[in-house]
Protein backbone atom coordinates (compact mmCIF):
# COMPACT_ATOMS: atom_id res chain seq x y z
CA UNK A 1 0.00 0.00 0.00
CA UNK A 2 1.29 3.48 -0.84
CA UNK A 3 2.37 5.65 2.07
CA UNK A 4 0.02 8.61 2.65
CA UNK A 5 1.67 12.05 2.55
CA UNK A 6 2.52 13.29 6.03
CA UNK A 7 0.08 15.26 8.15
CA UNK A 8 1.35 18.85 8.33
CA UNK A 9 1.99 20.41 11.74
CA UNK A 10 2.18 24.20 11.19
CA UNK A 11 3.28 26.29 14.14
CA UNK A 12 0.76 29.11 13.54
CA UNK A 13 -2.27 27.44 15.18
CA UNK A 14 -0.08 26.39 18.13
CA UNK A 15 1.07 29.98 18.61
CA UNK A 16 -2.52 31.26 18.29
CA UNK A 17 -3.61 28.89 21.07
CA UNK A 18 -0.74 30.07 23.30
CA UNK A 19 -1.56 33.75 22.70
CA UNK A 20 -5.26 33.07 23.40
CA UNK A 21 -4.26 31.49 26.72
CA UNK A 22 -2.03 34.50 27.55
CA UNK A 23 -4.67 37.12 26.74
CA UNK A 24 -6.70 36.98 29.99
CA UNK A 25 -3.47 36.84 32.00
CA UNK A 26 -2.25 40.03 30.34
CA UNK A 27 -5.67 41.64 30.88
CA UNK A 28 -5.37 40.85 34.57
CA UNK A 29 -1.92 42.46 34.77
CA UNK A 30 -3.21 45.57 32.98
CA UNK A 31 -6.29 45.71 35.24
CA UNK A 32 -3.89 45.69 38.19
CA UNK A 33 -2.12 48.72 36.75
CA UNK A 34 0.79 47.12 34.92
CA UNK A 35 1.32 46.99 31.16
CA UNK A 36 3.90 44.28 30.39
CA UNK A 37 7.13 45.43 28.78
CA UNK A 38 9.36 43.35 26.50
CA UNK A 39 12.81 44.92 26.16
CA UNK A 40 15.15 44.35 23.21
CA UNK A 41 18.83 45.19 22.86
CA UNK A 42 20.34 45.22 19.38
CA UNK A 43 23.98 45.89 18.60
CA UNK A 44 25.05 46.90 15.11
CA UNK A 45 23.45 46.89 11.69
CA UNK A 46 22.95 43.23 10.79
CA UNK A 47 19.84 43.20 8.59
CA UNK A 48 18.53 39.80 9.74
CA UNK A 49 18.97 40.72 13.43
CA UNK A 50 17.17 44.03 12.85
CA UNK A 51 14.28 42.16 11.22
CA UNK A 52 14.06 39.66 14.12
CA UNK A 53 14.05 42.40 16.74
CA UNK A 54 11.57 44.47 14.71
CA UNK A 55 9.22 41.48 14.50
CA UNK A 56 9.32 40.94 18.27
CA UNK A 57 8.74 44.66 18.97
CA UNK A 58 5.85 44.78 16.50
CA UNK A 59 4.21 41.76 18.08
CA UNK A 60 4.63 43.30 21.55
CA UNK A 61 2.99 46.52 20.37
CA UNK A 62 0.12 44.61 18.70
CA UNK A 63 -0.53 42.97 22.05
CA UNK A 64 -0.66 46.38 23.71
CA UNK A 65 2.68 45.93 25.49
CA UNK A 66 5.48 48.43 25.74
CA UNK A 67 8.63 47.53 23.85
CA UNK A 68 11.61 49.47 25.25
CA UNK A 69 14.47 49.19 22.79
CA UNK A 70 18.18 49.98 22.95
CA UNK A 71 20.08 50.05 19.67
CA UNK A 72 23.83 50.26 20.19
CA UNK A 73 26.18 51.15 17.34
CA UNK A 74 28.28 48.51 15.54
CA UNK A 75 31.42 49.77 17.36
CA UNK A 76 29.82 49.66 20.85
CA UNK A 77 32.17 48.43 23.57
CA UNK A 78 31.58 45.51 25.93
CA UNK A 79 31.09 48.10 28.69
CA UNK A 80 28.33 49.76 26.61
CA UNK A 81 26.60 46.41 26.17
CA UNK A 82 26.87 45.56 29.86
CA UNK A 83 25.52 49.03 30.76
CA UNK A 84 22.53 48.44 28.46
CA UNK A 85 21.84 45.05 30.08
CA UNK A 86 22.08 46.53 33.57
CA UNK A 87 19.76 49.40 32.68
CA UNK A 88 17.07 46.89 31.67
CA UNK A 89 17.75 44.80 34.78
CA UNK A 90 16.92 47.88 36.83
CA UNK A 91 14.03 49.19 34.72
CA UNK A 92 10.66 48.58 36.35
CA UNK A 93 8.80 48.82 33.06
CA UNK A 94 10.90 46.00 31.53
CA UNK A 95 9.52 42.67 32.70
CA UNK A 96 11.75 40.60 30.45
CA UNK A 97 14.28 41.29 27.71
CA UNK A 98 16.75 39.83 25.27
CA UNK A 99 20.05 40.69 23.67
CA UNK A 100 19.66 39.81 19.99
CA UNK A 101 22.18 37.18 18.92
CA UNK A 102 24.68 37.37 17.25
CA UNK A 103 26.48 40.47 18.49
CA UNK A 104 29.44 41.89 16.51
CA UNK A 105 32.52 39.62 16.78
CA UNK A 106 34.50 41.96 19.07
CA UNK A 107 31.81 41.57 21.77
CA UNK A 108 31.34 38.68 24.21
CA UNK A 109 27.69 37.63 24.10
CA UNK A 110 28.04 35.05 26.90
CA UNK A 111 29.62 37.61 29.23
CA UNK A 112 26.74 40.01 28.52
CA UNK A 113 24.21 37.22 29.16
CA UNK A 114 25.81 36.57 32.55
CA UNK A 115 25.06 40.20 33.51
CA UNK A 116 21.36 39.70 32.86
CA UNK A 117 18.90 39.23 35.71
CA UNK A 118 17.97 35.55 35.11
CA UNK A 119 14.36 36.27 36.05
CA UNK A 120 14.15 38.76 33.17
CA UNK A 121 15.79 36.41 30.65
CA UNK A 122 13.03 36.03 28.07
CA UNK A 123 15.05 33.63 25.89
CA UNK A 124 15.66 31.25 28.82
CA UNK A 125 19.34 31.06 27.84
CA UNK A 126 21.04 32.42 30.99
CA UNK A 127 23.19 29.72 32.65
CA UNK A 128 21.00 29.97 35.78
CA UNK A 129 17.97 29.14 33.65
CA UNK A 130 19.78 26.29 31.91
CA UNK A 131 20.61 25.04 35.42
CA UNK A 132 16.96 25.37 36.46
CA UNK A 133 16.01 23.36 33.37
CA UNK A 134 18.50 20.62 34.25
CA UNK A 135 17.32 20.59 37.88
CA UNK A 136 13.61 20.78 36.94
CA UNK A 137 13.17 24.05 38.82
CA UNK A 138 10.67 26.69 37.65
CA UNK A 139 12.06 29.36 35.35
CA UNK A 140 11.92 30.61 31.76
CA UNK A 141 12.45 27.67 29.39
CA UNK A 142 14.47 28.11 26.19
CA UNK A 143 11.93 29.23 23.59
CA UNK A 144 12.55 26.94 20.61
CA UNK A 145 12.67 23.71 22.66
CA UNK A 146 9.59 24.77 24.67
CA UNK A 147 7.84 25.59 21.40
CA UNK A 148 8.59 22.10 20.05
CA UNK A 149 7.12 20.50 23.18
CA UNK A 150 4.02 22.71 22.80
CA UNK A 151 3.74 21.81 19.11
CA UNK A 152 3.87 18.06 19.76
CA UNK A 153 1.26 18.44 22.51
CA UNK A 154 -1.02 20.58 20.31
CA UNK A 155 -1.02 17.95 17.54
CA UNK A 156 -1.59 15.22 20.14
CA UNK A 157 1.61 13.39 19.26
CA UNK A 158 2.31 10.89 22.06
CA UNK A 159 5.71 11.74 23.53
CA UNK A 160 5.64 10.05 26.92
CA UNK A 161 7.38 6.69 26.73
CA UNK A 162 8.35 7.26 23.07
CA UNK A 163 11.81 7.35 21.58
CA UNK A 164 12.82 10.83 20.46
CA UNK A 165 16.04 11.26 18.50
CA UNK A 166 17.50 14.76 18.28
CA UNK A 167 20.07 15.43 15.55
CA UNK A 168 22.31 18.13 17.04
CA UNK A 169 23.51 18.98 20.55
CA UNK A 170 23.69 22.77 20.20
CA UNK A 171 22.96 24.99 23.15
CA UNK A 172 19.94 26.79 21.68
CA UNK A 173 18.11 23.73 20.48
CA UNK A 174 19.32 20.13 20.75
CA UNK A 175 20.73 20.06 24.25
CA UNK A 176 17.98 22.02 26.05
CA UNK A 177 15.32 20.09 24.09
CA UNK A 178 16.82 16.82 25.34
CA UNK A 179 16.59 18.12 28.93
CA UNK A 180 13.01 19.28 28.41
CA UNK A 181 11.62 16.17 26.71
CA UNK A 182 13.23 13.83 29.24
CA UNK A 183 11.52 15.58 32.18
CA UNK A 184 8.85 13.73 34.12
CA UNK A 185 5.75 15.45 32.74
CA UNK A 186 2.86 14.14 30.60
CA UNK A 187 3.92 16.11 27.49
CA UNK A 188 7.55 15.00 27.86
CA UNK A 189 8.71 11.84 29.65
CA UNK A 190 10.45 10.50 26.52
CA UNK A 191 13.42 8.20 25.90
CA UNK A 192 15.68 10.85 24.35
CA UNK A 193 18.77 10.16 22.27
CA UNK A 194 21.02 12.98 21.07
CA UNK A 195 23.22 12.39 18.01
CA UNK A 196 25.87 14.62 16.47
CA UNK A 197 29.12 14.52 14.47
CA UNK A 198 30.61 12.20 17.09
CA UNK A 199 28.08 9.54 16.06
CA UNK A 200 28.85 8.83 12.39
CA UNK A 201 26.14 6.15 12.18
CA UNK A 202 23.49 8.58 13.49
CA UNK A 203 20.93 7.41 10.84
CA UNK A 204 20.77 4.11 12.78
CA UNK A 205 19.36 6.11 15.68
CA UNK A 206 17.03 8.41 13.73
CA UNK A 207 15.59 5.41 11.84
CA UNK A 208 14.66 3.76 15.11
CA UNK A 209 12.93 6.75 16.67
CA UNK A 210 9.20 7.49 16.58
CA UNK A 211 9.96 11.24 16.74
CA UNK A 212 12.95 12.85 15.04
CA UNK A 213 13.95 16.46 15.60
CA UNK A 214 16.44 17.97 13.16
CA UNK A 215 18.54 20.55 15.02
CA UNK A 216 21.81 20.63 13.08
CA UNK A 217 21.65 23.73 10.88
CA UNK A 218 22.83 21.69 7.88
CA UNK A 219 20.45 22.11 4.91
CA UNK A 220 18.86 18.85 3.78
CA UNK A 221 20.79 16.70 6.27
CA UNK A 222 17.71 14.63 7.26
CA UNK A 223 16.64 12.60 4.25
CA UNK A 224 13.79 10.10 3.78
CA UNK A 225 16.09 7.09 4.23
CA UNK A 226 16.98 8.42 7.71
CA UNK A 227 13.48 8.06 9.13
CA UNK A 228 11.08 5.18 9.57
CA UNK A 229 7.77 5.22 7.68
CA UNK A 230 5.16 7.05 9.74
CA UNK A 231 7.70 8.79 12.01
CA UNK A 232 6.99 12.27 13.36
CA UNK A 233 9.53 14.79 12.05
CA UNK A 234 10.16 18.24 13.49
CA UNK A 235 12.43 20.58 11.55
CA UNK A 236 14.20 22.98 13.90
CA UNK A 237 17.52 23.58 12.18
CA UNK A 238 17.70 26.15 9.43
CA UNK A 239 20.37 28.08 7.62
CA UNK A 240 19.81 31.37 5.84
CA UNK A 241 21.39 32.26 2.52
CA UNK A 242 20.49 35.91 2.30
CA UNK A 243 16.73 35.82 2.91
CA UNK A 244 16.42 32.25 1.59
CA UNK A 245 15.67 29.73 4.30
CA UNK A 246 17.30 26.30 3.94
CA UNK A 247 15.81 23.74 6.35
CA UNK A 248 17.58 20.67 7.74
CA UNK A 249 14.72 18.44 6.64
CA UNK A 250 14.77 17.35 3.01
CA UNK A 251 11.40 17.96 1.36
CA UNK A 252 11.10 14.29 0.36
CA UNK A 253 10.72 13.35 4.06
CA UNK A 254 7.09 14.46 3.64
CA UNK A 255 6.52 11.28 1.59
CA UNK A 256 7.73 9.00 4.39
CA UNK A 257 6.84 10.75 7.66
CA UNK A 258 3.48 10.32 9.38
CA UNK A 259 3.47 13.93 10.57
CA UNK A 260 5.93 16.73 9.83
CA UNK A 261 6.42 20.48 10.35
CA UNK A 262 6.16 22.56 7.17
CA UNK A 263 9.39 23.94 5.70
CA UNK A 264 8.27 27.47 6.51
CA UNK A 265 6.04 28.33 9.50
CA UNK A 266 6.93 25.32 11.64
CA UNK A 267 8.82 25.96 14.86
CA UNK A 268 9.37 29.70 14.17
CA UNK A 269 5.88 30.85 15.30
CA UNK A 270 5.97 28.60 18.36
CA UNK A 271 9.35 30.07 19.37
CA UNK A 272 7.86 33.58 19.37
CA UNK A 273 4.82 32.41 21.34
CA UNK A 274 7.07 30.90 24.02
CA UNK A 275 9.03 34.14 24.24
CA UNK A 276 5.81 35.98 25.10
CA UNK A 277 4.80 33.25 27.51
CA UNK A 278 8.13 33.70 29.31
CA UNK A 279 7.55 37.48 29.39
CA UNK A 280 4.04 37.11 30.86
CA UNK A 281 5.34 34.70 33.49
CA UNK A 282 8.12 37.16 34.38
CA UNK A 283 5.55 39.95 34.76
CA UNK A 284 3.28 37.76 36.87
CA UNK A 285 6.15 36.81 39.18
CA UNK A 286 6.97 40.41 40.04
CA UNK A 287 3.43 41.79 40.11
CA UNK A 288 1.83 39.22 42.38
N1 LIG B 1 13.61 28.05 14.10
C2 LIG B 1 14.03 28.65 15.19
O3 LIG B 1 13.32 29.46 15.78
C4 LIG B 1 15.40 28.32 15.71
C5 LIG B 1 15.80 28.73 16.97
C6 LIG B 1 17.05 28.35 17.47
C7 LIG B 1 17.88 27.62 16.65
N8 LIG B 1 17.48 27.26 15.39
C9 LIG B 1 18.34 26.52 14.48
O10 LIG B 1 18.66 25.28 15.07
C11 LIG B 1 19.92 24.83 14.58
C12 LIG B 1 20.75 24.37 15.75
O13 LIG B 1 21.12 25.48 16.55
P14 LIG B 1 22.01 25.30 17.84
O15 LIG B 1 22.53 26.64 18.18
O16 LIG B 1 21.29 24.53 18.86
O17 LIG B 1 23.14 24.31 17.34
P18 LIG B 1 24.64 24.52 16.83
O19 LIG B 1 25.46 25.08 17.91
O20 LIG B 1 24.61 25.21 15.50
O21 LIG B 1 25.04 22.99 16.66
C22 LIG B 1 24.64 22.19 15.60
C23 LIG B 1 24.66 20.75 16.04
O24 LIG B 1 24.44 19.92 14.90
C25 LIG B 1 25.44 18.92 14.82
N26 LIG B 1 25.79 18.64 13.44
C27 LIG B 1 26.20 19.54 12.52
N28 LIG B 1 26.52 18.90 11.35
C29 LIG B 1 26.30 17.58 11.58
C30 LIG B 1 26.48 16.44 10.79
N31 LIG B 1 26.90 16.51 9.54
N32 LIG B 1 26.19 15.23 11.32
C33 LIG B 1 25.75 15.13 12.60
N34 LIG B 1 25.58 16.20 13.41
C35 LIG B 1 25.85 17.42 12.90
C36 LIG B 1 26.63 19.48 15.55
O37 LIG B 1 27.43 18.43 16.04
P38 LIG B 1 28.79 18.69 16.91
O39 LIG B 1 28.32 19.13 18.25
O40 LIG B 1 29.42 17.36 16.93
O41 LIG B 1 29.54 19.75 16.16
C42 LIG B 1 25.97 20.30 16.66
O43 LIG B 1 25.71 19.50 17.78
C44 LIG B 1 20.48 26.01 13.79
O45 LIG B 1 20.21 25.79 12.43
C46 LIG B 1 19.67 27.19 14.25
O47 LIG B 1 19.55 28.18 13.24
C48 LIG B 1 16.25 27.59 14.92
Please tell me the distance between residue 234's alpha carbon and the centre of ligand 1 in angstroms.
Answer: 13
172 lines ligand 1 (CB under 6 A): yes
Distance CA 126, CA 117 (A): 9
**Residue 288's pLDDT is what?**
62
212 lines ligand 1 (CB under 6 A): no
E strands within 83-131?
96-99
Distance CA 48, CA 107 (A): 18
Query: Would you say 213 and 190 are in contact if contact means Cβ atoms under 8 Å apart?
Result: no
Average pLDDT per consecutive 10 residues, the chain (288 residues; last block may be shorter): 83 98 95 95 92 94 95 98 98 96 96 97 97 96 98 98 98 97 97 98 98 98 98 95 91 97 96 97 87
13 lines ligand 1 (CB under 6 A): no
Distance CA 258, CA 265 (A): 18
**Residue 152's pLDDT is what?**
98
* pTM check: above 0.85: yes
**Residue 284's pLDDT is what?**
95
Please tell me the distance between residue 245's alpha carbon and the centre of ligand 1 in angstroms.
Answer: 15
Distance CA 5, CA 224 (A): 12
144 lines ligand 1 (CB under 6 A): yes
* Smallest CA separation from ligand 1 atom 14, residue: 170
Distance CA 107, CA 119 (A): 23
237 lines ligand 1 (CB under 6 A): yes
Q: Which among 180, 198, 202, 215 is the best mutation to test ligand 1's pocket, defined by most ligand atoms within 8 Å of the CB?
A: 215
Atom of ligand 1 nearest to the CA of 267: 1
Q: Is 249 helix (H, G, I), strand (E, B) or coil?
A: strand
Please tell me the distance between residue 30's alpha carbon and the centre of ligand 1 in angstroms.
Answer: 39
* Smallest CA separation from ligand 1 atom 34, residue: 196
Phi, psi angle pair for 171, to nearest 5°? -80, -20
**Residue 287's pLDDT is what?**
73
Write the burial class of residue 51 (CB in 10 Å: 0-12 exposed, 13-18 middle, 19+ buried): exposed
Q: Which among 172, 202, 206 is the best mutation to test ligand 1's pocket, defined by most ligand atoms within 8 Å of the CB?
A: 172
Amino acid sequence: MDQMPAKMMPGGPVADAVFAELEPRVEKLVANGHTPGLGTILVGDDGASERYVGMKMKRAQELGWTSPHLHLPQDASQADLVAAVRSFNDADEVDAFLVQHPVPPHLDYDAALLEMDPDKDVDGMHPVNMGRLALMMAGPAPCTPAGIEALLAFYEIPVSGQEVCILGRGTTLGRPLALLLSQKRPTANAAVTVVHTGVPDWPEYTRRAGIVVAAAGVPGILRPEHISPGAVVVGGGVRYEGRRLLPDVDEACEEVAGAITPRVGGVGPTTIAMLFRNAVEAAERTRR
